[in-house]
Amino acid sequence: MFYFDPKYFLFVGPAMLLVLWAQLRVKTAYAAAQQLPAPLSGAAAARHILDSAGLSDVTIEEVPGELTDHYDPREKVLRLSTPVYNSRTLAAVGIAAHESGHALQDAKGYAPLAIRNAAVPIANFGSGAGLWMIILGAMLLHSHVLVMAGIALFAGTVFFQIVNLPVEFDASNRAKVQLVQLGIIDAEGLVHVRSVLNAAAWTYVAGTLQSVMVLLYYLSRFGGNSRD
């Protein structure tokens, strides 16, 4: 079966190790910053940032889970996980500020964010359907056309992840600026917030690299006329 091909691990193995390292790093940085107090809760910090930018129409909601924080540009809602919403820690205000950064991007018409949002349906569909089309085409139907269509769909997911990188980096940069300018954290607190956000950024980089290498593997394995 092609998914047991040793060549796959030659392509993807190093990226998988980077993903594991990035996940460990973000857990370590987040746990450390959770122990450090902040003057505001995550929700209060986000509200301060949004109001200061004239975005009082953006609402903030508490959602269950851990690290489930996100900004919904369609509903203009900032959703913060319970630990981030309620905690007065540097980890909480850092993550809340990062998600607020996406709201600022949306308000400013940040082009990469608009491209990313437009690519979401393709990415969601391609990540699952693309893989199954490759499997069916290669193993059951022996259809090179179906395999290449699946690869094209998966490429849409990779495109989304690549476009998402500048969006996430920019949101973190906006977060750090806002936290300092509004006096929510001081220079020492910024060091710890930067550690959390940089660690989170590495998870995006690692995940994107893994997807790129998977795509390259598919192209290497099925990109010719072989129907193996």
C-beta of residue 42 within 8 angstroms of C-beta of residue 95: yes
Find out whether 197 and 176 touch, Cβ atoms under 8 Å: yes
Burial class (CB in 10 A: 0-12, 13-18, 19+), 115: middle
pLDDT tens string, the chain, 228 residues long: the values are: 444 678 888 999 999 999 999 999 999 999 999 999 999 999 999 999 999 999 999 999 999 998 899 999 999 999 999 999 999 999 999 999 999 999 999 999 999 999 999 988 888 887 788 888 888 888 777 788 888 999 999 999 999 999 999 999 999 999 999 999 999 999 999 999 999 999 999 999 999 999 999 999 999 988 765 444
Q: Where are the alpha helices (DSSP H) in 80-186?
A: 82-86, 90-108, 111-135, 144-181
Confidence (pTM) = 0.88
Residues annotated catalytic, as ranges: 99
Quick one: how far is CA 211 from the chain centroid? 13
Contact 42, 87 (CB under 8 A): yes
Tell me the per-residue pLDDT of 130-185, one tens digit each, with 9 for 90 and over.
Answer: 888 888 888 777 788 888 999 999 999 999 999 999 999 999 999 999 999 999 99
Look at residue 2 in the predicted model and tell me its pLDDT. Answer: 46
Measured between alpha carbons, how far is residue 219 from residues 132, 135, 138, 227 in Å? Answer: 16, 14, 13, 12
Nearest to 13 by CA among 216, 228, 221: 216
